Amino acid sequence: MIPAQVTAPDGLLLILALFLPAVSLLAIFVLGLRRPERIALPTLAGGLVVALIVALQVGHSGQAATYRLGGWLPPLGITLRADGLSAALIAMAALILFVVAIYARGNFGSEPDGAESRQPMVFWTLLLGLATALNTVFLAQDLFSLFVALELLTFSAVPLVSLEGSRETLRAALRYLLFALSGSVLYLIGVALLYGAYGTLDIASLHQVTRADRATSIALGLMIAGLMAKAALFPLHLWLPPAHAGAPAPASAVLSALVVKAPFFLILRLWFDVAPQPQPAIAGTMLAALGAVSILVCSVLALRQARLKLMVAYSTVAQVGYLFLVFPLVMGSEAAVPWASIGWTGGVLQLVSHAFAKASMFLAAGLIAQAMGHDRIDDLGGAAQAVPISLAAFALAGLSLMGLPPAGGFVAKVMLLTAAVATSNWWIAVTILAGGLLAAGYVFRVIGKSFAEPAKGAPPRNAVARSSELAVLSLAAVALMLGFLPLQPFAYLAIGQGGLP
Amino acid sequence: MNAPTLYGLCAAALVGIGLFGLILHPTPLRKVISFNLVGCGTFLFFGVAARRGAGAGFAGDPVPQALVITGIVVAFAATAVAVALILRMLEAGVATMDSRPEPPDDLSP
């Protein structure tokens, strides 16, 4: 069993990370229906401060921060825990949410006359709901709390898709909801089976008792299949492009950058912390094969899109595919533990760098569409003069997707490539290279069209807010700076790994 | 065959029927009802786990029942969101969701 451990003072910050956005969400209903951003923005800023303190403390103490609700120990009690990976992801989510909130003041700022309006109110409350849900996914330590967190994430994400209320976005939202619900119900069946087999849902306890028997395999298979539908892995990706392309730009940014990462994070935990060791090689290869098909098919589809936002959305499916390449790369490696292998580190870095790059890309696409009045790629001529900063951010984020130096995506993809070669998974190496080329194709297509001469009689450009442009550029800059990380497993991410406190 | 096995088979049948409907019915409302069927089957599974005493070795385990209550609330909320979306779709004049995916609205004014 797990040794009793008193809650360290830094554990209280974990509660704050969940508590702050949830309370502020309620406060909007009570206090601020007219000016919801006045409550939401400071909350997200506070959330960023809390996340950074947690991340620094975890790094400083060199061990995971733990909080046990009411002092109860698992399996009866509920534990919140931030290891190195969780702390890094919380900081990532908080930073992206804060920058998106700054950007969204332009889209969803309240009316100057103080009139109450539906869209801003809904947007800001859902953004806070997302913040709560993401922090819960990254911190919770038992499979049922994680189910509740996933559902909270779904209920916050789906209405964001249909904010504009047009037919297509409503349809996209409903399709997203049905995929997500099917995924969560499969996950829940798996939870029931695991509970029936082991009598506990605490990840650290399960880590010690799971056996390689049929019930465990079926349970984990159902859970991972359900999470695949939520993470939009081929062939369960059909809901993502219309949903992410139909949402308003700030909503698309958080959906693509953060929401699809939460189910992948859970798959990672199930695979490395819950599944009995060693994991079946065939399952890992199958996940990677689906990831490879995602990369190739959706990159080609991205190349063929006529609209900028749909192109970026298809690119999300392709980039999420890279994450699933991790499993065979880790199993084949010689590292004693997964997080000491270069494949695992590359996967995590791909997750983080794609989050920043894709958030920046969707926001830039939103500004380009706002300035040009449309988002048809073929008619983007003149965009380079109209919104140079946004286009620069788009290009910098594109570097990360392609995997060109010095972007964060470069380091991630080189790590994955090195791991693929080291474990002689040549087909994975070829897929990574082909995916990079295809990404270069679709990014350069947009850049090339934007530098073309504007068509005669083109409508006048609309002005975009400078603060929004700088927000976009700052996200792209972070994606770029990740490229200066060293090409080796990071000690920080390994803090507290292994499913044990 | 003892009672938990019978209930377990019922749960499996409910999940199967629900998944069938969720994948094959074209109308959104039927999909939502099918989702609820899968949910019911899942909750019954938790009941079976409780009755079997789970892995902890109790005669009747109370924890799954607490989980089921939360699960029912979540499924209820999910159904409410789905029905609200379907109502909005009907107001906007969309009857089914199996038409080909359309590109999002033109952003031009």
Other CB atoms within 10 Å distance of the CB of residue A405 = 12
Which of B38, B88, B103 is opposite residue A307, by nearest beta carbon? B103
Backbone angles phi, psi at B30, to 5 degrees: -65, -35
pLDDT at site B103: 45
Per the domain annotation, does B100 fall within a domain? Answer: no
Asked whether the beta carbons of residue B104 and residue A307 sit closer than 8 angstroms, the reply is yes
SS (H, E, C) A209-277: HCCCCHHHHHHHHHHHHHHHHHHCCCCCCCCHHHHHHHCCHHHHHHHHHHHCHHHHHHHHHHHHHHCCC
Q: Looking at the complex, does the CB of residue B49 fall below 8 Å from at least one CB of chain A?
A: yes
Chosen from A143, A147, A171 to mutate, greatest number of chain B CBs within 10 A: A171
CA dist A354 and A482 (Å) reads 10
Asked whether the beta carbons of residue B22 and residue A193 sit closer than 8 angstroms, the reply is no
pLDDT at site B107: 44
State how far the alpha carbon of A176 is from the alpha carbons of A238, A290, B15, in Å. Answer: 9, 20, 21
CA dist A157 and A308 (Å) reads 21
Per the domain annotation, does B11 fall within a domain? Answer: yes
Q: Looking at the complex, does the CB of residue A174 fall below 8 Å from at least one CB of chain B?
A: yes
Q: How far is A297 from chain B (nearest CA, A)?
A: 17
Per the domain annotation, does B45 fall within a domain? Answer: yes
- Residue A304: DSSP 8-state: T
CA dist B97 and B27 (Å) reads 7
* Contact of A297 with A237, CB cutoff 8 Å: no
Per the domain annotation, does B106 fall within a domain? Answer: no
pLDDT at site B106: 45
CA dist A409 and A407 (Å) reads 5
Backbone angles phi, psi at A72, to 5 degrees: -80, 140
Which of B56, B92, B103 is opposite residue A167, by nearest beta carbon? B92
Q: Looking at the complex, does the CB of residue B94 fall below 8 Å from at least one CB of chain A?
A: yes
Asked whether the beta carbons of residue B101 and residue A238 sit closer than 8 angstroms, the reply is yes
Per the domain annotation, does B26 fall within a domain? Answer: yes
Q: Among A260, A424, A256, which residue's Cα sits nearest to residue A343? A: A424
Which 390-419 residues of chain A touch chain B by CB within 8 A? none
Chosen from A188, A193, A213, A461 to mutate, greatest number of chain B CBs within 10 A: A188
pLDDT at site A1: 38
Residue in the block written with tokens 């590109």:
B103
The gap between the terminal CA atoms of chain A, to the nearest Å, is: 11
Q: Show residues of chain B in contact with A311, CB under 8 Å.
A: none
Q: Show residues of chain B in contact with A173, CB under 8 Å.
A: 85
pLDDT at site A424: 84
Tell me what the pLDDT averaged over chain B comes to. Answer: 81
* Contact of A367 with A468, CB cutoff 8 Å: yes
**Residue A406, preceding peptide bond in cis (omega within 30° of 0):** yes
Q: Looking at the complex, does the CB of residue A307 fall below 8 Å from at least one CB of chain B?
A: yes
Q: How far is B6 from chain A (nearest CA, A)?
A: 15
Q: What is the pLDDT of residues A161-191, one digit of tens each?
A: 988 888 888 889 999 999 999 999 999 999 9
Query: What residues make up the domain containing B49?
Result: 3-92
Q: How far is A207 from chain B (nearest CA, A)?
A: 15
Q: Show residues of chain B in contact with A244, CB under 8 Å.
A: none
Which of B61, B81, B107 is opposite residue A373, by nearest beta carbon? B107
Domain total in chain B? 1
Q: What angle do CA A432, A430, A241 make, to 5 degrees?
A: 45
pLDDT at site A306: 87
Asked whether the beta carbons of residue A241 and residue B46 sit closer than 8 angstroms, the reply is no
Side-chain half-sphere of B11: how many Cα atoms within 13 Å? 20
B30 Cβ partners below 8 Å, 6+ apart? B21
pLDDT averages per 10-residue partition of chain A, 501 residues:
49 86 89 79 91 88 82 78 90 93 81 69 91 93 92 93 86 91 93 87 86 89 93 89 89 92 93 84 90 92 89 92 90 76 88 92 90 82 82 89 84 88 88 91 88 70 80 89 78 71 44
- As a whole number, mean pLDDT of residues B85-108 equals 63
Per the domain annotation, does B99 fall within a domain? Answer: no
CA dist A343 and B52 (Å) reads 41
Asked whether the beta carbons of residue A192 and residue B61 sit closer than 8 angstroms, the reply is no
Q: Looking at the complex, does the CB of residue A264 fall below 8 Å from at least one CB of chain B?
A: no
Assembly ipTM:
0.87
pLDDT above 70 for B101: no
Residue A473's SS3 state is: helix
Asked whether the beta carbons of residue A373 and residue B109 sit closer than 8 angstroms, the reply is yes
Which 223-252 residues of chain A touch chain B by CB within 8 A? 238, 241-242, 245-246
Q: Looking at the complex, does the CB of residue B47 fall below 8 Å from at least one CB of chain A?
A: no
Q: Among A145, A6, A146, which residue's Cα sits nearest to residue A73? A: A6
Asked whether the beta carbons of residue A154 and residue B78 sit closer than 8 angstroms, the reply is yes
Which of A151, A188, A242 is opposite residue B42, by nearest beta carbon? A188
Q: What is the pLDDT of residues A448-471, one digit of tens each?
A: 888 887 776 666 677 777 888 888
Q: Looking at the complex, does the CB of residue B17 fall below 8 Å from at least one CB of chain A?
A: no
State how far the alpha carbon of A245 is from the alpha carbons of A218, A308, B47, B102, in Å. Answer: 35, 9, 41, 11
CA dist A354 and A54 (Å) reads 22
- The rounded radius of gyration (Å) of the Cα atoms in chain B is 19
Other CB atoms within 10 Å distance of the CB of residue A463 = 10
Per the domain annotation, does B101 fall within a domain? Answer: no
Q: How far is A437 from chain B (nearest CA, A)?
A: 25
Count interface pairs A-B at CB distance under 8 A: 139
A166 Cβ partners below 8 Å, 6+ apart? A246, B92, B104, B105
Per the domain annotation, does B15 fall within a domain? Answer: yes
Helices marked H in chain B — which ranges? 3-24, 28-51, 63-92
Residue in the block written with tokens 């913040």:
A131
Q: Looking at the complex, does the CB of residue B77 fall below 8 Å from at least one CB of chain A?
A: yes
Q: How far is B85 from chain A (nearest CA, A)?
A: 6
Q: How far is B53 from chain A (nearest CA, A)?
A: 8
Which of A148, A199, A375 is opposite residue B54, by nearest beta carbon? A199
pLDDT at site A32: 66
Other CB atoms within 10 Å distance of the CB of residue A304 = 10
Residue count (chain A): 501
pLDDT above 80 for B97: no
Q: What is the CATH number of the domain that holds B51?
A: 1.10.287.3510
- As a whole number, mean pLDDT of residues B35-63 equals 81
